[in-house]
Amino acid sequence: MKIHEYQAKELFRQAGIPVPDGQVCYDREKIPSLIANLNMPVAIKAQVLAGGRGKGGGVILAHTTKEAQAAAEKILGMQLVTLQTGEEGTAVKTILFEQGIQLKKELYLSMLIDREQADIVIIASRDGGMDIETVASKTPERIITVHVNPLLGLQSYQLRKLIFGLELDPAVTKSFATLVKKLFTLFLNSDCSLVEINPLAITVEDTVMALDAKMEIDSNSLFRHPDITAMHDSSEDDALEAAAAAHGLNYIRLGGTIGSMVNGAGLAMATMDLIKQAGVEPANFLDVGGGASAEMVENGFRIILSDPNVRGIFINIFGGILRCDILAQGVVTAARKVGLSLPVVVRMEGTNMEEGREILAQSGLDLTNATDLNHAASLLTEMVQ
Amino acid sequence: MKIHEYQAKELFRQAGIPVPDGQVCYDREKIPSLIANLNMPVAIKAQVLAGGRGKGGGVILAHTTKEAQAAAEKILGMQLVTLQTGEEGTAVKTILFEQGIQLKKELYLSMLIDREQADIVIIASRDGGMDIETVASKTPERIITVHVNPLLGLQSYQLRKLIFGLELDPAVTKSFATLVKKLFTLFLNSDCSLVEINPLAITVEDTVMALDAKMEIDSNSLFRHPDITAMHDSSEDDALEAAAAAHGLNYIRLGGTIGSMVNGAGLAMATMDLIKQAGVEPANFLDVGGGASAEMVENGFRIILSDPNVRGIFINIFGGILRCDILAQGVVTAARKVGLSLPVVVRMEGTNMEEGREILAQSGLDLTNATDLNHAASLLTEMVQ
Amino acid sequence: MAIFIDKETRVLVQGITGKEGQFHTRQCQDYGTRIVAGVTPGKGGQKMDGIPVFNSVEEACAKTGANATMIFVPPPFAAEAILEAVDADMELAVCITEGIPVLDMLRVKSAMAGKRTRLIGPNCPGIITPGACKIGIMPGSIHLAGGPVGVVSRSGTLTYEVVHQLTSQGLGQTTCLGIGGDPINGTSFIDCLLAFQDDPETQGVVMVGEIGGSAEEEAAAWIAAHMNKPVVGFIAGLTAPPGKRMGHAGAIVSGGRGTAAAKLAAMRENDIHVCENLGNLGSLCKDVFSAVLS
Amino acid sequence: MAIFIDKETRVLVQGITGKEGQFHTRQCQDYGTRIVAGVTPGKGGQKMDGIPVFNSVEEACAKTGANATMIFVPPPFAAEAILEAVDADMELAVCITEGIPVLDMLRVKSAMAGKRTRLIGPNCPGIITPGACKIGIMPGSIHLAGGPVGVVSRSGTLTYEVVHQLTSQGLGQTTCLGIGGDPINGTSFIDCLLAFQDDPETQGVVMVGEIGGSAEEEAAAWIAAHMNKPVVGFIAGLTAPPGKRMGHAGAIVSGGRGTAAAKLAAMRENDIHVCENLGNLGSLCKDVFSAVLS
C-alpha cells in the first residue's frame, strides 16, 4: 500500500527523521491564509500516489508569495498526468507547502526488501534527485548497496560502507548515520516494503534532511498497523478494483474485451495469456479464490459486467476439492440473478464434472461448455468473430 | 558481577517488573523511623552477595513493629555466616525492609546463559522457594526449560510452554507472560549472566510479583553499563583479590603455602595443580597476563607476599614473544624492590633462556632456576621440607 | 522413492481445530496420509476425529513421533508457528497460510539458516507423493501414482491443471509440490530440482513459474549446469501489466524485472522445453518425456 | 596438509594499525605468513609496513583475495568485526580479542549459522601450521614443522608449554590451535578433532582442556565414537575452587558442573590417554604416538 509524501513525512517526523516544515492544504479557499504564514521560497507539491509528478508539473518552487499563490491554485484540483497515471491523469486533491531549504548537496537513499537474498537492502547514491534506475544503468559504480540481516539489524560496518561510499564530509557523518538508523527502525516498525528519500539533502548546516519521502507498506502487515491503514487514500484506486477488493476478490482491469473468472492467481494469469493467444484481449485478471462459492461467482459476474468493454466471459475453474455440480449451480443462479446477457464459455474440471456440464446445458442460458483449454480457446476465438 | 537484592529490585522496578514495596537501611539509628511508616507484616532481609542467607538467619518475617525493630537490630551489623561465606562470615551493612505480601502460590523462575547451546535458557518450576538444584535432581519433571535464540527473542510458543508447564490458572497467565517478557528484555539490556526470582509469588489478586531477586552481570559488558558498574559493592571482595584486580592482575587466594606467578590462565591453573602434585598446597592462582612486564612482576610479588601463609614462590613463565633475559631482569629488579626474602623457584622458557638464567644466577638473590617442570616440582618439594 | 515425503511420513497439523485445518486434515487422512497429531494451544488433551491434540509442537512430536507438519495458522501467528516447528526440529514444515507479512518471513528465513527443517511455502497448496502421502490442499484424485514426472510450481490451481493434463496423458507423478506465491519462501525451485535430480524414480520434471522475482532464471541456469533429466517449463503472466500485483504477493513485474518474457528467454537459453500454450502442456510432456522413458 | 590453514592462506588483519595489531602482524609476517591486507576504518589507502590498509573487510577481500582474517579489535567492537568478516564470506576468522561480552558472542554465534566462515576464538592465541602459516600470537620458534601431532587447546601459554614439550621430544606438529577461553566460542574441540581425523598427515592429537562447561566431555564421547587416531588429553584446574572464575571467562566450576575430575573421568572412559602430570606430557606423547608411527 502506498501512502502520500505528506503522510510518510509525518511518520518520519514521529521517528525523529528531519524533514522540512510543511503545511498540507485540501481547500483552495485556505491557500492565502496558509501562504501568509510561510517564509519564501516554498515548494508546492501535488500529493498523488502516482510517480513522476515532477515532470508532469505537479511540483513548483515559488520565490514570492504571489508565485506561491499562483502555483497552489494551479496544482490543487488539476488533473495531473504522469507516466504512471495514464492519459486521463489523476485529480490533485491535496497539496503540500514545504519550506525551501538551503542545501549543499543532494543524495539518494532507499531501503527495500530483497526477495532473492531474503534480507533488507539499503541503496544509496551521490546522485540525489536523479532516477535511480538511470544511475544504476549508466554509472553502476556510483550505487552503494548494503544488505542487512533482519534479525541482526544494521551494523556499524554497514553504515561505514555507506558513508565511505558516498564520500561524505566528516562533519555530516554523524547526522547521516543517525538518519539511516532511524529510517531502518521505521522500515521495520512500519512493515515497509519500500522507503525512498530522493533527494536526501545535505544542508548548509551539515545536517541531513529528507526533501522527498516515498513509502510503501506491506499489505499483508496492515492488520498490525491500524494507524497506517487509516492513511489509505482510495481516490486513486480503480473503482472496479476497489469494489472487487471489498468483496474479497482479486480483480485487475486490463482493457480488453474478454472477461475472465478463475480460481487461483496462477491459473488466472495463465487464463489471461490463453485469451490473448486465442486472438482476443483479456479484459481483466480475476481470482475468485480457492472456494469459489455461488456468492463469489455472483460478485465476480457483477464486477466483470461493470466493465463496458466486455463482450464475453470465460469462466475457468479447476474445482479441486470444490464439486463441479455445486459450481455449475452457482454459475446458473448467479447468471440469472445478475440478468446475464453476454456469451459465457465455461471450462471446469474436477469432481462431478459430468453433472456440472449437464446443469449448464439444461439452464437455457448462453453458457457453453468447453471440454478442455484448447477447446475453450477456439470457443473464445469464435465468440468475437 | 553480583549485585544486591535491593539493587536488582530497583532495576526490576525500572523495567516494570512488580516487586514488593521496600525500604533500604544502612544505619541503625534510622530503624525506628523507617518502621514507623511500614505496615506489618514486614520482612527484614540482610543484603549480602553470598547465597544461603535465609538458613544463616539473615531473613526474618516480623508481624509487629516490635518484632520488626528487634529483627532489624539483630541483622544490621551482624556477621552473617552462610554456606558461601566461610566460617568468618560476612558483615551485614545493609538491610531491606519489605512489605509482606498475601500470596496463593510460589513459583521459581530464572534466566541464564547456556554455554553449550549458545543461547539463553529460561528455567521455571512450580516449586518456588526451594533450591532449584534439589528440585532438578529429585523431581526433574517439575522443571520446565525453554531455550531462547538471542536474535529471535522470546516467542509466544515459548511463553505457552512455561504457562502450560507450570499449570498456571488462566487468570494469572497474562500477568505472568508480561513479567517474563519484561524480565527477558531486562536480561538482554543489562547483559545479565543470571537472573533468578525465587520465589516468584502469585498474589491473592492473581498477579505475579518478584519476592526475591538475584542478578549477575557479565563483567565483560560493564563498559556499556556505567550505572550497574556503580552498584558494585567491594566490601565482600577478598582484599587481596581486589588489590590485584586494581593492578590488572587475575589473583585468587587458595589458602596454601606456595605462591605462584604465571602468565596465562591455563598455565596458571596447571601450575597450581603441579604444586599440589609436588606435595604442597598452592597459595593462589595468579595470572600476570601475556605481557609480564617488570611492573607486573613487581605487583605480583607484592600481592603474593601480602598473604601471610606463603612460604615460597614459584614463577612459571612461558615467555613466548617475551624474551627471557628481559623477564629475568624484571624479576631481579622487582625482588630487590620489594625486599624479597622468601625462596623463589623460577622456571622460564622461550627466547634467550640461557641469558635469563645467567642473570638470575648472578643476582645473589635466593632465586633457583628450574630446567623444566619436573625439576621445578622437585625443587618445590625440597623447598618446604 | 519420490522426494521429501513418502508413506512413512508422520504428519502433525498445526491449527487442526480451525475450520480449514479440520477440513483438510480429513481430506489428507482420506487420501491415506498418516496424520498422527494436531496442535492447538489450549486444546491439549482433546481429540479431532480421534487424532490427539496437543498444546505444543514439541509435546506432539515427543508423544507421536511426528516428523512433518502442515500449518493452517492465521497470518498474524503463522510465522511463529513455523518457528515452533523449526525449534522442535521437524524435518518438514508445509505452510499453507496466505498473507504472512514479508518481514515475518525474512525473520523466519534467517532463523532457519543451519537448521534441518525444510519449509515448503508459505502461501502454497502443499506437497503430494501420489498414492503415498498428501500434505496440502490439492485434490488428491487428479494425481496418478508411480511417476515418472516430478512437478514443481509457484502456483496452486495452475499446478492442478498441469497435473490433470499429465494424468490425462497417462503420465504419473513422483511428487508434486507448490513452493508458494509469496516473495519470500522456504524451499526454492532449485532445492526441488536438486531433489528430483537425485530421485531415481523421477525421469523428468515440469516446472511452472510466474512473473515476479528471478527464481525461474536462477533455476534455469542451475538446470543447464547440473540437471541431466528433461525439464518442461511454463510461465504464467505474459499479459500481466507492470507494477500490478497479480493475486500472489510475489507476482509483480517491477522496474522492468520479473517479466514472463525474461523468464521464458532464460528457459529457452538453458535447454528447457518451454510450453508456449497451457492447453498443450500435457501433450508436450508426453513428447518430451517419452524420449527418456523409451 | 595440516588443518584450516596452509601456505596458500591469504591473511587480512582487522585492527592492523593498533599497537597489538601492528606488533603481531610483523611477527606473523616474519614467520612467513602471507599477510595481504589490513583493515582500519578511516585509514583506508594507508600502508602498514607496505601492507595496504582498507576501510572495510569487503573491500580488502575484493582487492587482495584475502580468505582469512586475524582480529585485534577491542572488545566493544570485536563482535561486529567478526560479523563483518562473516558478511564478507571469509573462510576463516581468528579472533584474538579477550573480553567480548557474552551476549555479543551469542548473537554472533547465532548469526553465523549456515554461513561458511569458520571462527576460531575469541580470547584465543590463534592457529599455526608450523613452517607454513601462523595466524595468532603464539611464539613461532617453539614449533616443529611437518607433523605428526595435532594440538588443540582452550588455553594460550599452556598450549605453548605442550608444543614446547612435543618439540623437545622431536615430535613435530601438523597444526596447533587454541579455541579460546570464553564460554561461547566459534570452533569447538569436536570441529578440530574431526578435521585432524580427516587430515592424513596428523597421526595423533593432544587435546588440552580446563575446568568449566562440558566441551571436553562431549569431545571425549565423540572421540570414542568417531576417532581412530590416538589422543592424549590434559585438563588444567584440578585444584581450582568452585564458584571462582580462573582467569578465563569460561573457566569456572558452577553448580558442581565443569570440574576437572569429571572431565578426566570422561577422558579415561573414552580411551583417551590422560596425562596426569604436565611435566610428563612430552614423554607420554612420545610413548603413545610412537606406537602408531612405527
**Contact B150/D110, CB-based, under 8 Å?**
yes
Could you give the ipTM of this predicted complex? 0.93
The angle at the Cα of C23, spanning C18 to C25, to the nearest 5 degrees, equals 90
**Contact C106/A113, CB-based, under 8 Å?**
yes
Look at phi and psi of residue A142 and say left if phi exceeds 0, alpha if psi is from -120 to 50, else beta.
Answer: alpha
Q: What dihedral angle (degrees, nearest 10) is formed by the CA atoms of A249, A255, A257, A258?
A: -30
Alpha carbon distances (Å) from C52 to A51, C47, C66: 55, 5, 12
Which of the 8 DSSP states describes residue A85?
Answer: T
Query: Does C27 map to a domain?
Result: yes
Q: How far apart are CA D192 and CA D201, in angstroms?
A: 14
Give me the residue from B116, B193, B270 closest to D102, CB to CB: B193
Beta strand A90-91 pairing with B90-91: unpaired
- Check: CB of residue B192 under 8 Å from CB of residue B216: yes
List beta partners, residue D177. Answer: D127, D152
Whether the CA torsion D196, D198, D204, D207 is positive or negative: it is positive
- Shared domain for C179 and C217, answered yes or no, is yes
Q: Tens of pLDDT along A239-285?
A: 888 888 888 889 999 999 999 999 899 999 999 999 999 999 999 99
Q: How far apart are CA C135 and CA C71, in angstroms?
A: 10
Query: Does C133 map to a domain?
Result: no
Q: How far apart are CA D93 and CA C236, in angstroms?
A: 45
**Chain D partners of C115 at a C-beta cutoff of 8 Å?**
113
- Shared domain for D157 and D218, answered yes or no, is yes
Which of B6, B108, B251, B298 is catalytic? The answer is B108
Q: How far apart are CA C157 and CA C142, in angstroms?
A: 12
The C-alpha cell that represents C131 in the structure block: 498414492
Q: How far is CA C294 from the centre of its chain?
A: 29
Single-letter amino acid code for the residue at D114: G
The C-alpha cell that represents B340 in the structure block: 624479597
CATH number at B21-100: 3.30.1490.20
The C-alpha cell that represents C217 in the structure block: 532464471
* CATH number of the CATH domain containing C90: 3.40.50.720
Give me the residue from A149, A265, A320 closest to C247, CB to CB: A265
Query: Does C193 map to a domain?
Result: yes
Interface of B with A in 313-352 (CB under 8 A): none
Query: Does C41 map to a domain?
Result: yes
- Check: CB of residue B34 under 8 Å from CB of residue B23: yes
Q: Tens of pLDDT along C166-199?
A: 999 999 999 999 999 999 999 999 999 999 999 9
Beta strand D34-39 pairing with D10-14: parallel
Please tell me the predicted confidence (pLDDT) of residue B290. Answer: 66
Closest by Cα among C87, C49, C48, C42 to C69: C87
Please tell me the predicted confidence (pLDDT) of residue D217. Answer: 96
Q: Hunting for cell 581486589 — which residue is that?
A: B242
- Check: CB of residue D208 under 8 Å from CB of residue D196: no
Please tell me the predicted confidence (pLDDT) of residue D108. Answer: 97
Query: Does C130 map to a domain?
Result: no
How far is the alpha carbon of A119 from chain B, nearest alpha carbon, in Å?
15
First to last CA, chain C: 20
| SS3 at position A97 | strand
Which of the 8 DSSP states describes residue D250?
Answer: T
Domain count, chain C: 2
Please tell me the predicted confidence (pLDDT) of residue A324. Answer: 83
Query: Does C178 map to a domain?
Result: yes
The answer to whether residue B156 neighbours chain C at the CB level (below 8 Å) is yes
The C-alpha cell that represents A50 in the structure block: 502516482
- Check: CB of residue A95 under 8 Å from CB of residue A47: yes
Please tell me the predicted confidence (pLDDT) of residue D74. Answer: 97
Q: How far apart are CA C227 and CA C246, in angstroms?
A: 31
Please tell me the predicted confidence (pLDDT) of residue D294. Answer: 63
Closest by Cα among B78, B99, B93 to B34: B99
Beta strand B90-91 pairing with B119-125: unpaired
Q: Hunting for cell 538446470 — which residue is that?
A: C223
User: Which chains reach chain B with 3 or more Cβ–Cβ distances below 8 angstroms?
Assistant: A, C, D
Which residues of C belong to the active site? Answer: 248
Interface of A with C in 164-223 (CB under 8 A): 188, 191, 193, 218-221, 223
Alpha carbon distances (Å) from D160 to B130, B155, B290: 46, 45, 12
The C-alpha cell that represents C174 in the structure block: 513422483
Question: Contacts from A8-11 at CB under 8 Å and sequence distance 24+?
Answer: A8/A195, A8/A213, A8/A214, A8/A215, A9/A210, A9/A213, A11/A186, A11/A190, A11/A215, A11/A228
Count the neighbouring beta carbons within 10 Å of the beta carbon of residue C74: 14
Q: How far apart are CA A202 and CA A126, in angstroms?
A: 11
User: Which chains reach chain D with 3 or more Cβ–Cβ distances below 8 angstroms?
Assistant: A, B, C
Closest by Cα among A153, B232, B222 to D75: B222
The C-alpha cell that represents B266 in the structure block: 591455563
**Contact D80/A157, CB-based, under 8 Å?**
yes
Please tell me the predicted confidence (pLDDT) of residue B6. Answer: 97
Q: Report the b/e string of B347-356 with b at 16+ CB within 10 A.
A: bbbbbbbeeb
**Contact B152/A152, CB-based, under 8 Å?**
no
Please tell me the predicted confidence (pLDDT) of residue D207. Answer: 98
The answer to whether residue A230 neighbours chain B at the CB level (below 8 Å) is no
Q: Tens of pLDDT along A80-106?
A: 988 777 788 889 999 999 999 999 999
Spell out the SS3 assignment of chain B: CEECHHHHHHHHHHCCCCCCCEEEECCHHHHHHHHHCCCCCEEEEECCCCCCCCCCCCEEEECCHHHHHHHHHHHCCCEECCCCCCCCCEECCCEEEEECCCEEEEEEEEEEEECCCCEEEEEEECCCCCCHHHHHHHCHHHEEEEEECCCCCCCHHHHHHHHHHCCCCHHHHHHHHHHHHHHHHHHHHCCEEEEEEEEEEEECCCCEEECCCEEEECHHHHHHCHHHHCCCCHHHCCHHHHHHHHCCCEEEECCCCEEEEECCHHHHHHHHHHHHHCCCCECEEEECCCCCCHHHHHHHHHHHHCCCCCCEEEEEEECCCCCHHHHHHHHHHHHHHHCCCCCEEEEEECCCHHHHHHHHHHCCCCEEECCCHHHHHHHHHHHCC
pLDDT tens per residue across all 294 residues of chain C: 699 999 999 999 999 999 999 999 999 999 999 999 999 999 999 999 999 999 999 999 999 999 999 999 999 999 999 999 999 999 999 999 999 999 999 999 999 999 999 999 999 999 999 999 999 999 999 999 998 999 999 999 999 999 999 999 999 999 999 999 999 999 999 999 999 999 999 999 999 999 999 999 999 999 999 999 999 999 999 999 988 888 888 888 887 789 999 999 999 999 999 999 999 999 999 999 988 876
How far is the alpha carbon of C122 from chain D, nearest alpha carbon, in Å?
21
Q: How far apart are CA D90 and CA A185, in angstroms?
A: 28
Domain B239-384 sits in which CATH superfamily? Succinyl-CoA synthetase domains (3.40.50.261)
**Contact D246/B265, CB-based, under 8 Å?**
yes
- Would you place residue A172 in the very low, low, confident or very high pLDDT band (cuts 50, 70, 90)? very high
3-state DSSP helix/strand/coil % of chain A, to nearest 5 = 40, 25, 35
All structural domains of chain B with their residue ranges = 1-19+102-236, 21-100, 239-384
Q: How far apart are CA A65 and CA A128, in angstroms?
A: 28
The answer to whether residue A152 neighbours chain B at the CB level (below 8 Å) is yes
- Check: CB of residue C150 under 8 Å from CB of residue C174: yes
- Would you place residue D167 in the very low, low, confident or very high pLDDT band (cuts 50, 70, 90)? very high
Q: How far apart are CA A223 and CA A218, in angstroms?
A: 10
The residues near C227 (Cβ < 8 Å, ≥ 6 apart) are C193, C197, C205
Please tell me the predicted confidence (pLDDT) of residue D236. Answer: 96
- Would you place residue A339 in the very low, low, confident or very high pLDDT band (cuts 50, 70, 90)? confident
Q: How far apart are CA C206 and CA C219, in angstroms?
A: 12
* CATH number of the CATH domain containing D177: 3.40.50.261
**Contact B266/D208, CB-based, under 8 Å?**
yes
The residues near D73 (Cβ < 8 Å, ≥ 6 apart) are D14, D15, D18, D81, D97
| SS3 at position A61 | strand
- Check: CB of residue C64 under 8 Å from CB of residue C35: no
- Shared domain for D240 and D194, answered yes or no, is yes
Give whichever of A50-59, B343-352, D133-142 has the largest mean pLDDT: D133-142
Residue D108: domain span = 1-124
Residue A292 has pLDDT above 70, yes or no: no
Please tell me the predicted confidence (pLDDT) of residue A238. Answer: 84
Tell me the percentage of chain B whose pLDDT exceeds 90. 67
Q: Tens of pLDDT along D79-110?
A: 999 999 999 999 999 999 999 999 999 999 99
Query: Does C277 map to a domain?
Result: yes
Query: Does D72 map to a domain?
Result: yes
Which of the 8 DSSP states describes residue A263?
Answer: S
**Chain C partners of B149 at a C-beta cutoff of 8 Å?**
111
Catalytic residue check, B108: yes
Which of B5, B98, B196, B298 is catalytic? The answer is B196
Q: Whole-number mean pLDDT of chain C?
A: 95
Whether the CA torsion C75, C76, C79, C83 is positive or negative: it is negative
- Shared domain for D203 and D279, answered yes or no, is yes
Q: Whole-number mean pLDDT of chain B?
A: 92
Alpha carbon distances (Å) from A190 to A149, A158, A183, C34: 17, 22, 10, 41
- Check: CB of residue A335 under 8 Å from CB of residue A299: no
Last residue of a domain, one of C99, C124, C149: C124
- For residue C109, give the chain D residue with the closest CA: D114
| SS3 at position C145 | coil
Q: How far apart are CA A261 and CA A250, in angstroms?
A: 10
Does domain A1-19+102-236 correspond to CATH entry 3.30.9.10?
A: no
Alpha carbon distances (Å) from D72 to D27, D126, D137: 14, 11, 10
- Shared domain for D175 and D223, answered yes or no, is yes
Last residue of a domain, one of C124, C153, C174: C124
**Contact D115/C115, CB-based, under 8 Å?**
no
Which of the 8 DSSP states describes residue D257?
Answer: B
- Would you place residue D147 in the very low, low, confident or very high pLDDT band (cuts 50, 70, 90)? confident
Please tell me the predicted confidence (pLDDT) of residue C121. Answer: 96
Last residue of a domain, one of D124, D155, D176: D124
Residue A290 has pLDDT above 70, yes or no: no
Please tell me the predicted confidence (pLDDT) of residue C294. Answer: 62
Catalytic residue check, A358: no
Size of the C and D interface in Cβ pairs below 8 Å: 6
